[in-house]
Amino acid sequence: ALVIGVLALQGDVREHLVALAAAGAAARPVRRPEELAEVDGLVLPGGESTTISKLATLFGLMEPLRARVADGLPVYGTCAGMILLADKILDPRSGQETIGGIDMIVRRNAFGRQNESFEAALDIEGVDGDPVEGVFIRAPWVESVGAAARVLAEHEGHIVAVRQGNALATSFHPELTGDHRVHGLFADMVRASRTRGSL
Ligand code: GLN
């Protein structure tokens, strides 16, 4: 089976486990380095990026995460998870570190406060059919991307979905809707990477 983990230190872990299962993966929470070693792909959930980064350091996961992502582990970050995948944060809080993996600069809370959360229909490259309903909750946007990163979606002129190699990031939360096409796209990335690895 295709085993996809969800980093389970803080955030909306359960919703991602459900969405991944619906996309056909064997989904499991990851809290320890030994669990990280067993997955074919990893989701970094929404939540609070500073908290997740501090807990990852505390649990001895930060270096293993950096190593596996640098080694090409397929990884998908939503919202706080997007921030964790950024090589650079425009306005980091003290002690806030990232895993990195995507050559982009993100701006935290760029779309406003919690009570300014909103939904918007998005056309995402690689997702066929109707637009995806994007749920934005204190969401970051991407200020700029480097040459290796590909912009997959924008909202009102701001970059909200990016892919670089095996790393995918969205400002919004597909795990909070019943539409599992973005998780399906990620599951396809994990499958493709496994196939290449076994050749
Ligand atoms: N604003 C949060 C952060 O900076 C992210 C919010 C979310 O994941 N919904 O980590």
CATH number at residue 73: 3.40.50.880
Rounded to whole angstroms, the Cα distance separating 51 from 45 reads 12
Rounded to whole angstroms, the Cα distance separating 182 from 174 reads 7
Q: Which residues are paired to 196 by β-bridges?
A: none
Q: Annotated active-site positions, please?
A: 79, 173, 175
Q: What is the pLDDT of residue 113?
A: 83
What backbone phi and psi angles, to 5 degrees, belong to 81? -65, -35
pLDDT < 70 regions, the chain: 197-199
Q: Which residue has the tokens 């991944």?
A: 20
Rounded to whole angstroms, the Cα distance separating 58 from 60 reads 6
The minimum-distance atom of ligand 1 relative to the CA of 51 is: 10
| Pocket lining for ligand 1, CB < 6 angstroms | 46-49, 79-80, 83, 108-109, 137-138
Tens of pLDDT along 71-124?
A: 999 999 999 999 999 999 998 898 889 999 999 999 999 998 878 899 999 999
Range of the domain at 62: 3-197
Question: What is the total residue count of the chain?
Answer: 199
Q: What is the pLDDT of residue 42?
A: 98
The total number of structural domains that make up the chain? 1
Ligand 1 mutation target, pool 82, 98, 108, 173, most atoms within 8 A of CB:
108
